[in-house]
Amino acid sequence: MSDSNPSEFDIIQSFFSDLGHADGATQLGIGDDAAIVRIPVSARLCLSVDTVVEGVHFPAGTAPQHVATRALGSALSDLAAMGAKASHFTLALTMPKSDSRWLKSFAKALHDMAVAFGVSLVGGDTTRGPLTVTVQVHGWLPPDKALTRASAREGELLVVSGTLGDAGAGLRCLQQALSDPNAEVDYLSGRFYCPSPRLLLGQQLLDCGSACIDISDGLLSDAQHLATASNVGLEIDASLIPLSPALQRLFPKQALELALTAGDDYELLFTLPESKLKALQSLSPVPVSVIGKVSGAGQQVSVKGYDLDIQQKGYLHFD
């Protein structure tokens, strides 16, 4: 592209053709009125859409590669939480002006993440307006299985993947513009900008897990969603919540609060029978930690070892 202000059609052709994993399932990709995708035998379609808006979900001026990874990573995380095998995605990109340099970085990062997680871009729309990125992801589920929020049973263990609070701490680092970048700041801001959707873990949980949700709004808030949907109580032991060394070192006083209430970690929170834990721990590609258990009905989330302020249950848009 020599033109620094390409038209919509040039943008699509130049930057978004053949983006992501090439799997042969795409019968017709970008360039016609709609895309056509081949479907595995007996599969169910699993889909989720996520929008990120500049100034709301990421700071103004965020580098294009970070906008891309945050948008695709957070969307794929929803498929992970269902146990789906990710297949393809679409991109609706609204931007104030067409900027080849910005688009090139954005498309490169999107491509790299798409290849890493085995998904291909099959359709999209580019429009002019305030920077807004909507990613819709699709995956396949076997007809008789799904990992919903509604299947937790009394007596099961409550488990999370990875560590919590990192993304919230990363956002604080970015907002405070900490002037001495170091490995810990890089790690935490990377956790905010580049979520790692736990797709393989989600697929493993199809066989051994009961209920599952991804942590986008914050542990307490998402635990409450799971408790409500399953009509169970959840008891969390604060001392068991996994915290990264970087979080504990940079935010020693706020680490637990961040882990409980900050969103954007995109780890999985799930329940499973205790008998299944050992097998899962040996298979899972990411560490999983028991943080509590499913108690009886009541739909209450209680936290042992932390003074829970009911006002800080997470991140509600529009509140």
Q: Does 49 bind its own copies (CB under 8 A)?
A: yes
**1, 13, 14, 51: residue in contact with its own copies (rule CB under 8 A):** 51
Q: How far is the CB of 28 from its own copies (least distance, A)?
A: 7
Q: Pairing state of beta strands 268-272 and 288-295?
A: unpaired
Q: Does 9 bind its own copies (CB under 8 A)?
A: yes
How many Å separate Cα 295 from the centre of its chain?
27
Query: Considering only residues 65-84, where is the footprint of its own copies by CB under 8 A?
Result: 78-79, 81-82, 84
Tokens of 159: 């488990």
Q: How far is the CB of 131 from its own copies (least distance, A)?
A: 9
Q: How far is CA 84 from CA 195, 214, 238, 255, in A?
A: 17, 13, 30, 32
Residue with tokens 């399932």: 25
Smaller CB distance to its own copies: residue 136 or 284? Answer: 136
Q: Could you tell me which of 265, 269, 166, 262 has the C-alpha nearest to residue 211?
A: 269
Q: Does 22 bind its own copies (CB under 8 A)?
A: no
Tokens of 270: 């799930």
Smaller CB distance to its own copies: residue 90 or 189? Answer: 90
Q: Is 158 exposed, middle or buried (0-12, 13-18, 19+ CB in 10 A)?
A: buried
Q: How far is the CB of 239 from its own copies (least distance, A)?
A: 28
Q: How far is the CB of 81 from its own copies (least distance, A)?
A: 4
Query: Considering only residues 82-111, where is the footprint of its own copies by CB under 8 A?
Result: 82, 84, 90-92, 94, 97-98
Q: Does 313 bind its own copies (CB under 8 A)?
A: no
Q: How far is the CB of 304 from its own copies (least distance, A)?
A: 26
Residue 186 corresponds to which amino acid? D
Q: Does 124 bind its own copies (CB under 8 A)?
A: yes
Residue with tokens 């409500």: 228
Residues forming beta bridges with residue 44, ordered by sequence position = 141
